[in-house]
Every structure is written in C-alpha cells, then in structure tokens.
Amino acid sequence: MTRGAERASRGFTLIEVLAALVIVALGMLGVIEAVTQTARNGTYLREKTLAHWIAMNVITERRLLGSPPDTGETSDEIEYAGQRWRYTVRVTQTQVESLRRMDVSVRPADAAEGNPLVTVAGFYGTAIGAVGGGTLAWSGADGAGGPADGKGGDDGGDDDSTAPPPGADPDPADDDE
C-alpha cells in the first residue's frame, strides 16, 4: 500500500467531523425549542386554570350575598396559589328586572390592564316562580288575563281551589288498603 492510501483509510477528515457536528447541533436546537414550548404551554395553562377558578369564586361570592350586586365596575387584587391576581367585575342590568349579569375578568397583577387571561360571565337573580315549578303569570304577555294582572282568570267553571295539585293522589285514604 502507498502512503496516501494508508492515510485515507484511517478515519474521518476534519471537514466530515465538522459537518456531523453542525447537523447534530441543529437537531439539538430543535429538541430544545420543543421542550421550551411545552414548558411555556404548561405554565400558561396552569395560570389560565387558576384565573378561571378565581373568576368562578368571585361570581359565587357575589351570588351568596344577601342583596344583588350594584351595577357598575369594581376591581380588586387577591393572592391565590402564591401569586398576586387582579380581577375586574362588571355588573350590568339585564332585560329581566330581577336578573343581573356579572362579567369577571382576571389577570396576573403585573400583566397589562387590557389583557385578561379569562373572562367569565355569571348571573345573579331572584326566583320568579314558586318552589317546585308551576306556571308563571307574565303580565302583559298575551293579554288573556291571569291572577297576576288583576283581571282574574275565572272561566265560569267550578272553583278548583280545593283540587289537588297535578300528579297528586286525589284520595290518599285509598292507600291504606
């Protein structure tokens, strides 16, 4: 064998080694970017979940108050899960007089004002019907008259004031047999 052939069969050249290192480095950069993006998404989803919980807690607290919330906008800061949060509650009157809408926006306390993580809507209202259901007399709905509009609903038939409610047993004494 000649001396040139001996040298070529010993291993890689410097150019081949550098090319291999560049290819491996580019592949590693892609892997590092993917891991970083996954960690960033995990942090974002954690914060979004916590913000949603805060908004739901605020709505629940307002619902548990004895009186309806005042219409307008209020804001406050709280600490939750080791982090400072800022929430804004916007209360508006709906078309139904006894119902108010609450929009709660939550963001980290150090985030920009117009950039909430979540906005959750909830409602505060009083019952407009009897417990257990029944019919509601909407005044002015069809002009037919009903107990709520003062026109009375008597159709000239028998007085049903002593009749059992629908679905009830008309003669409970038969149950003893």
Backbone angles phi, psi at 70, to 5 degrees: -70, 145
CATH class for domain 14-125?
Answer: alpha beta
Contact 69, 123 (CB under 8 A): no
Q: pLDDT tens across 6-30, in order?
A: 555 678 899 999 999 999 999 999 9
* pTM score of the predicted model: 0.58
Name the residue among 90, 170, 153 with its Cα closest to residue 122. Answer: 90
pLDDT for 1: 52
pLDDT at residue 97, rounded to an integer: 87
- Which pLDDT band, with edges at 50, 70 and 90, does 147 fall under? very low
pLDDT attached to residue 130: 65
| 38 contacts 32 by C-beta, under 8 angstroms | no
Question: Is the predicted pLDDT of residue 75 greater than 90, yes or no?
Answer: yes
Which has more confidence, 77 or 1? 77
Domain positions in the chain: 14-125
Q: Tokens 């807690």 sit at which residue?
A: 57
The CA-CA-CA angle for residues 92, 95, 97, to 5°, reads 85
Predicted pLDDT of residue 154: 45
